[in-house]
Each structure stands twice: as structure tokens, then as C-alpha cells.
Amino acid sequence: MSQTSEGFRPPQQARSRESLERVLTAAEQVLAEDGLPGFTIGAVAARAGLSVGAIYRRFDGKEQLLGAVKDQLLGQLEEGVRASLESAGPGLGQIVGAFVSALADTFGSHDRVFPELLDAQRSSGRDRGLAALAAVQDTLTEAAQPALTEVRRPDAAQAVAATARTIIGACVHRAATCRFWPDGRSWPEWAAESAEMALAYLTSAGAGPVGAAARM
């Protein structure tokens, strides 16, 4: 885990890293089960089997701890997308499918936590989140380079970037609202349908920018 936007720097020794993982796992569990109202240092300490003082020796307070949880999940998202695209087949369909599935896997595994983190984020946390999403978008655009000949839009590279942003936005929105506005689909089902829609757009000939036809 990298240094978070809240200023926390993780330990280097193996024993300390294991203790940190216990704290972050406990913090995520408390956040998932009790939400922000129940997210306290005391609750996390009890779940982790540590003293309150032990957590305060590592974190200034619950805001910094929330930042560490968010940073870890965003790191998992970045790594999951990267690993999925590295193992994807060469075709556009396999690349897009791997990308959407990787997003769905991470968000689906933590769909009770992401809404709480989104509600709690401060400006510094938002910057970390936007940086992670930008990195995820760049990972797809780079992976899709060999398959750009399959894209039929007027500007293939721009179309792939737009697809990445649209899918990421839909994924974040779904994670934030699915408990209150369910769509009746599992995360794998959502991923499959989103990949199909993305491919339909990328492989259909476009008319250029909106309004171009009207100016002709």
C-alpha cells in the first residue's frame, strides 16, 4: 500500500505490516456492517483484538484510518485491472471484457464499503480516488492499442478512452447506489452486459462528433 492522501506511511517491518493488515481488515468490516455512524477507533480496535492506544499510535484518528482503507481498496482496484488486462487475450472483446470484469470484481467484493467511503471522502481523498480512476483508464487505453484496428469509431483512441470513462463512472455509481437502487443483477451479470454495450459502441461506425451531420 502506498502513502495515503491522509499522510499515513505504512510500516516496513513484516510484523508491523501484519498488524496493519489486521487493523485495515477490521476497519473495513466495521464500515461494512455499521456504516459511518458506527465507525469508531474503539469499534475497530475491538474487532482487530488490539487496544485503542495501539491504533492511535499508527493513526491520528478515524479520518486517517478511513483514508488508509480507501487507499488500500483503490490499490487493489489498480492492481486488479492491471493483472486482468495483462492476462487478457489479444482481441478487443477480450480486452474490454477483462477490464469490466476486473472493475466488477473489486467493487462487487467491497460493495458495502465503497458507498461509505464515498460519503466520507474529503477533498484530499477525492484527489486520490480520481488519480486511481485515471490510472485505471490509462491501463485500458494502453492495453487496447494493439486492437485499435477493430474499433470503427472515427477516432479509435478517443473512443476507447470515452468507453473507459463511461464504464468506470457507471461502476462507481452502481457501487454507491446499488443498496438503495438495485438493478436486480449480480456484479458478473452487470459486467457482461456492460462489456457487450461497450463493444457494440466501439465496433459500430460512428457519424463523428455530435452536430457534425447537422453542419454538413
**CA separation for the pair 71, 194 (Å, rounded):** 26
- pLDDT tens by residue, 113-140: 888 887 766 545 677 888 999 999 999 9
Same domain, 107 and 178: yes
Specify the number of domains making up the chain.
2
Same domain, 196 and 97: yes
Distances (CA, A) of 213 to 153, 207, 208: 15, 7, 8
| Residue 66, C-alpha cell as written in the block | 478511513
Q: Please enumerate in sequence order all residues whose Cβ is within 8 A of that of 51, keeping only pairs 6 or more positions apart, or say none.
A: 45
Indicate the pLDDT class of residue 94, thresholds 50, 70 and 90.
Answer: very high
Q: How far apart are CA 139 and CA 144, in angstroms?
A: 9
Q: Is the pLDDT of residue 2 over 70?
A: no
- State the residue range of the domain holding 71: 67-206
Residue at 196 is within a domain:
yes
User: Hey, what's the cell of 160?
Assistant: 476507447
pTM assigned to the model: 0.81
Residue 145 sits in the same domain as residue 184: yes
Looking up cell 457482461 gives: 192
* Residue 2, all three cell numbers: 502506498
User: Is residue 175 domain-shared with residue 94, that is, in the same domain?
Assistant: yes
pLDDT at 211 over 60: no
Q: Is residue 139 domain-shared with residue 195, that is, in the same domain? A: yes
Is 102 part of any domain?
yes
